[in-house]
């Protein structure tokens, strides 16, 4: 590997060097071997939907093959490929939501899973129109779970849209016929319509993609968040630390990596088990240090203050510290490279989900019915592995930063209530936030979300964008790996107020919040959608009228493509810091970055340079402010 700067994060840089010294490979080595990505794939111009192909369209208009064997044009091929990305992303989030609904369905008083947040259960039951009076809490929980599970496959009707969606938006979706039907149905509809010989019209495919993505944002993801809150508690603000420096020299280090909280919640509980703590003593360790990575890390960080070892591109580096007894994974964003890498150290790489089995892993299937015992077995494996740690191979970087996390909407409202004069204004609403936006104390809000991608310097774009936004009095809400980048850079600490503009700094001081609010995992972008919708409703406008934008500066997954589509369909302009595989079709680019605005009042911006993207976002926010002023 040449000496190109690969990361903005010191701990990451130190461990990339260690990898080199240890003679093990990382994603950056494989990127170098791969050289440039496939030019056809990068533009979305390769089709392998049938066995007459694969066909690839020349990226130069008018030169070489301009159509597949079936006659599919670049516009058709690009839009079909994109629609399939949306379908895959939607299925990942929604299958996560489904699993959590199944867990709710098995919740019981004395079982492994119970109801931690009865108030949330009642709120969700009410929004679904389920009678709550005189009902046993668990009966109600099971009814909510059944309702949720039916949303996946109901044969008739439409998805139950949450009341946080403004009326204008809901009507617009109806007019455009993009209100989702059942969640699974929308995914299947895309898979069918993109089968060879079906849909061959870019605009119709993009419209379908919006409908499917809405099934994610207001169906699968939304329920994933709500039901997790019911089961495990709605997050409240709490302190934690982030980066690989949270690993400990004398403790059994366990990394939880993946997405669904059903497993990670149980591991956190099992790490306190008396029998296991006795075993810890026996193996000569001082304790069990459970840490998180990616979204499962966000889930337990929000609810328990579990420390974050790092974000997506640090998963291999955690193993390379030589200090990790077990990497325990469930689903999504897990490198298949991990088992081989773990073999070069003493780390046990443990898969737990039948949805994500990985060759070379130790598989300990996590059974929700016997969840606590399953979790204990996993933790026991880690403890027993402590004796195999080779102290000479250990390097734990010094870097870690303090973070305040846990900003669910309820927690945000509780903080806002601190500044409400209850004789004049109602408590329990986002009104103070709406007032700050309309008065201009806050110029706007931006959601910084998404993954890491080695096409970019790790974490750099996210940090630059966040710093620019807060300096310009734009409050940031963050989820996923972007939130973890912010945590590592100290931007989730209350001290980060000193980097904020005067207006934002004052708001942070009064409301007692950091300038960047950690709102959870990627499925928790549903919290951001709820927040935006509620503020729009308070002001009597639509989402697209608010000075609010979103950006995924370093995205990589199909889930991010689905998110982008539902955020735009919700009326929020969305920046992509990595160019999506659509540049092979002028038509698709024109629809997504231009014409779609006429449909839904928002569009995509593609800008890889973080400073340029920041300037565009500020301009757009100011434009929205001027328009909003005229409306008010
Ligand atoms: Fe080629 Fe058409 Fe088959 Fe795609 S569907 S592989 S473009 S013949
Ligand atoms: Fe995620």
Going from the Cα of 412 to the center of ligand 2, the distance in angstroms, rounded, reads 22
Question: Which residue puts its alpha carbon closest to atom 7 of ligand 1?
Answer: 68
Ligand lying closest to the C-alpha of residue 480: 2
451-501 pLDDT, tens digit each:
999 999 999 999 999 999 999 999 999 999 999 999 999 999 999 999 999
Which of 46, 54, 68 is the pocket-test mutation for ligand 1 (most atoms within 8 Å of CB)?
68
Give the pLDDT band of residue 604 (cuts 50, 70, 90): very high
- Is residue 44 left, alpha or beta, with left meaning phi > 0 and alpha meaning psi from -120 to 50? left
Check if the interface score ipTM surpasses 0.90: yes
- How high is the pLDDT of residue 223? 97
**Is 389's pLDDT higher than 70?**
yes
Angle at the Cα of 580 from the Cα atoms of 210 and 159, rounded to 5 degrees: 15
Nearest ligand atom owner, CA of 478: 2
> Cβ distance 290 to 273 under 8 Å?
no
**Does residue 424 carry a pLDDT above 90?**
no
What percent of the chain is predicted at pLDDT more than 90?
97
Pocket test of ligand 1: the residue of 40, 41, 44, 47 to mutate, having most ligand atoms within 8 Å of its CB, is 47
Q: Closest Cα to residue 405, out of 531, 239, 259, 243?
A: 239
Nearest atom, ligand 1, residue 48 CA: 6
Q: Which ligand 1 atom is at minimum distance from the Cα of 77?
A: 7
Give the residue, by CA position, lying nearest to ligand 1 atom 3. 50
Q: What are phi and psi of 456, to 5 degrees?
A: -115, 160
Report which bound ligand comes closest to the CA of 84.
1
Nearest listed ligand to the Cα of residue 89: 2
Q: Summarize the confidence of residues 493-512 as an average pLDDT.
A: 97
Atom of ligand 1 nearest to the CA of 54: 6
Site to probe by mutation for ligand 1, drawn from 53, 54, 205 as the one with most ligand atoms within 8 Å of Cβ, is 53
Mutate to test the pocket of ligand 1, among 54, 66, 69, 199 (most ligand atoms within 8 A of CB): 69
Selection from 455, 419, 416 nearest residue 554 by Cα: 455
Cα–ligand 2 centroid distance for 107 (angstroms):
25
Label residue 422 by pLDDT band (50, 70, 90): confident
Do the Cβ atoms of 199 and 167 come closer than 8 Å?
Answer: no
Structure confidence at residue 1 as a pLDDT band (50, 70, 90)? low
What's the gap in Å between 604 CA and the centre of ligand 1? 28
In this predicted structure, the answer to whether residue 2 has a pLDDT above a threshold of 60 is: no
Residue 320, both tokens: 């390379």
Looking at residue 449, its pLDDT comes to 98
If you measure from the C-alpha of residue 508 to the centroid of ligand 2, how many angstroms do you get, rounded to a whole number? 27
Q: Which two tokens stand for residue 424?
A: 């004049």
Ligand nearest to the CA of 195: 1
- pTM of structure: 0.98
Dump pLDDT digits (tens) for 103-151. Answer: 999 999 999 999 999 999 999 999 999 999 999 999 999 999 999 999 9
From the CA of 67, give the closest atom in ligand 1. 7
Could you read off the pLDDT of 212-226 as tens digits, one per residue?
A: 999 999 999 999 999
Residue-wise pLDDT for 182-210, tens only, equals 999 999 999 999 999 999 999 999 999 99
pLDDT average, residue stretch 26-49: 96
Q: What is the pLDDT of residue 61?
A: 83
- Which pLDDT score is estimated for 632? 82
Nearest-CA residue for ligand 1 atom 2 is: 70
Q: Which atom of ligand 1 is nearest to the CA of 69?
A: 8
Contact between 430 and 453 (Cβ < 8 Å): no
Calculate mean pLDDT across residues 427-444: 97
Q: Using CA atoms, how far apart are residues 569 and 510, in angstroms rounded to an integer?
A: 34
Distance 134 CA to ligand 2 centre (A): 38
State how far the alpha carbon of 452 is from the alpha carbons of 194, 216, 294, 485, 609, in Å: 29, 21, 10, 9, 15
Mean predicted confidence (pLDDT) in 598-608: 98
73 alpha carbon to ligand 1 midpoint, in Å? 10
pLDDT for 382 beyond 80: yes
Residue 164 confidence (pLDDT) above 90: yes
Taking residues 574-596, report their average pLDDT.
98
CA distances from 20 to 279, 310, 322 (A): 35, 20, 14
**Taking ligand 2, which is a single-atom ion, which protein residues have CB atoms under 5 Å away?**
295, 480, 522
For the CA of 68, the nearest atom of ligand 1:
7
Whole-angstrom distance, CA of residue 578 vs CA of residue 556:
8
| Tokens at 176, concatenated | 């455009």
Give the ligand 1 atom nearest the CA of 76.
7
pLDDT band for 425, please (50, 70, 90 cuts).
Answer: confident
Q: How many Cα atoms are found within 13 Å in the side-chain-facing hemisphere of 50?
A: 13
Q: Ligand 1, closest atom to CA 55?
A: 1
For residue 78, the model assigns a pLDDT of 98
Residue 35: CB atoms within 10 Å? 6
Cα-flanking dihedrals φ and ψ of residue 114, to 5°?
A: -130, -170
Nearest ligand by distance to the CA of 80: 1
Domains of the chain: 10-56 (no CATH), 74-232 (1.20.1270.30), 244-393 (3.40.50.2030), 403-631 (3.40.50.2030)
328 CA from centroid of ligand 1 (Å): 40
Give the ligand with the smallest distance to the CA of 53: 1
CA 59 to ligand 1 centroid distance, Å? 16
Closest ligand to the CA of 76: 1
Look at the block and give the residue holding tokens 């310009």: 472
Ligand 1 environment, Cβ below 6 A:
47-50, 52-55, 68-70, 72, 77, 196
Q: Give the pair of three-digit tokens for residue 495.
A: 């001290």
Atom of ligand 1 nearest to the CA of 197: 5
- Residue 3 reports pLDDT greater than 90: no
On the question of pLDDT at 315 being above 80, the answer is: yes
Give the separation between CA 148 and CA 228, rounded to whole angstroms: 13
Alpha-helix runs per DSSP H in 271-408 = 274-282, 294-304, 315-320, 338-343, 371-384
Where residue 421 falls among pLDDT bands split at 50, 70, 90? confident
pLDDT score of 372 more than 60:
yes
Atom number in ligand 1 closest to CA 47: 4
Shortest-distance Cα residue to atom 6 of ligand 1: 53
| Among protein residues, the one whose CA lies closest to atom 4 of ligand 1 | 47
Ligand 1 mutation target, pool 57, 72, 84, most atoms within 8 A of CB: 72
- Which one of 49, 51, 56 would you pick to mutate in the ligand 1 pocket, going by the greatest count of ligand atoms within 8 A of its CB? 49
């Amino acid at each position: 590997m040449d000496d190109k700067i690969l990361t903005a994060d010191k701990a990451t840089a130190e461990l990339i060097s260690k990898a080199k010294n240890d003679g093990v490979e990382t994603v950056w080595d494989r990127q170098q071997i791969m050289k440039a990505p496939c030019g056809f794939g990068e533009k979305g111009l390769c089709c392998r939907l049938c066995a007459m192909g694969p066909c690839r369209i020349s990226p130069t208009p008018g030169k070489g093959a301009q159509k597949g064997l079936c006659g599919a044009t670049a516009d058709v091929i690009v839009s079909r490929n994109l629609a399939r990305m949306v379908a895959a992303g939607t299925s990942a989030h929604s299958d996560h939501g489904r699993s959590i609904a199944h867990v709710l369905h098995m919740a019981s008083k004395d079982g492994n899973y119970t109801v931690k947040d009865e108030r949330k259960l009642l709120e969700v039951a009410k929004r679904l129109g389920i009678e709550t009076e005189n009902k046993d809490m668990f009966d109600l929980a099971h009814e909510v779970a059944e309702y949720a599970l039916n949303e996946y496959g109901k044969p008739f009707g439409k998805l139950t849209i949450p009341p946080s969606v403004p009326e204008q938006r809901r009507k617009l979706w109806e007019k455009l016929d993009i209100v989702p039907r059942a969640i699974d149905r929308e995914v299947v509809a895309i898979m069918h319509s993109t089968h060879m010989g079906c849909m061959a019209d870019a605009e119709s495919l993009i419209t379908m993609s919006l409908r499917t993505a809405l099934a994610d944002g207001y169906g699968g993801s939304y329920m994933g968040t709500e039901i997790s809150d019911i089961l495990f508690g709605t997050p409240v603000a709490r302190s934690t630390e982030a980066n690989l420096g949270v690993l400990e020299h004398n403790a059994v280090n366990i990394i939880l990596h993946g997405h669904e909280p059903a497993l990670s919640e149980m591991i956190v509980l099992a790490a306190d088990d008396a029998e296991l703590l006795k075993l810890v003593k026996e193996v000569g360790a001082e304790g069990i240090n459970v840490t998180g990575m990616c979204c499962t890390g966000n889930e337990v960080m929000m609810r328990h203050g579990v420390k974050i070892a790092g974000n997506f591109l640090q998963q291999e580096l955690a193993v390379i510290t030589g200090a990790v007894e077990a990497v325990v994974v469930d689903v999504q964003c897990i490198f298949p490279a991990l088992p081989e890498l773990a073999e070069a150290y003493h780390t046990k790489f443990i898969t737990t989900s039948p949805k994500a089995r990985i060759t070379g892993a130790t598989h300990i299937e996590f059974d929700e019915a016997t969840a606590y015992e399953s979790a204990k077995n996993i933790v026991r494996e880690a403890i027993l592995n402590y004796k195999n740690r080779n102290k000479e191979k250990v390097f734990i970087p010094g870097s870690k930063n303090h973070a305040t996390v846990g900003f669910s909407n309820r927690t945000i409202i509780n903080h806002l209530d601190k500044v409400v004069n209850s004789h004049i204004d109602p408590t329990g609403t986002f009104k103070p936030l709406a007032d700050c936006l309309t008065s201009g104390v806050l110029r706007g809000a931006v959601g910084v979300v998404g993954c890491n991608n080695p096409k970019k310097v790790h974490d750099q774009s996210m940090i630059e964008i966040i710093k620019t936004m807060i300096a310009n009095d734009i409050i940031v809400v963050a989820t996923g790996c972007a939130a973890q980048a912010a945590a590592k850079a100290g931007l989730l600490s209350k001290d980060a107020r000193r980097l904020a503009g005067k207006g934002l700094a004052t708001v942070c001081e009064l409301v007692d919040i950091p300038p960047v609010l950690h709102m959870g995992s990627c499925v928790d972008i549903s919290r951001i959608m709820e927040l935006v919708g509620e503020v729009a409703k308070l002001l009597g406008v639509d989402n697209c009228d608010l000075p609010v934008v979103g950006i995924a500066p370093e995205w990589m997954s199909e889930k991010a493509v689905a998110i982008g589509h539902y955020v735009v369909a919700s009326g929020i302009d969305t920046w992509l810091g990595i160019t999506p595989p659509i540049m092979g079709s002028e038509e698709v680019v024109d629809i997504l970055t231009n014409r779609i605005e006429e449909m839904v009042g928002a569009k995509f911006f593609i800008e890889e340079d973080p400073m340029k993207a920041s300037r565009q976002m500020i301009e757009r926010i100011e434009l929205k402010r001027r328009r909003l002023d005229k409306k008010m």
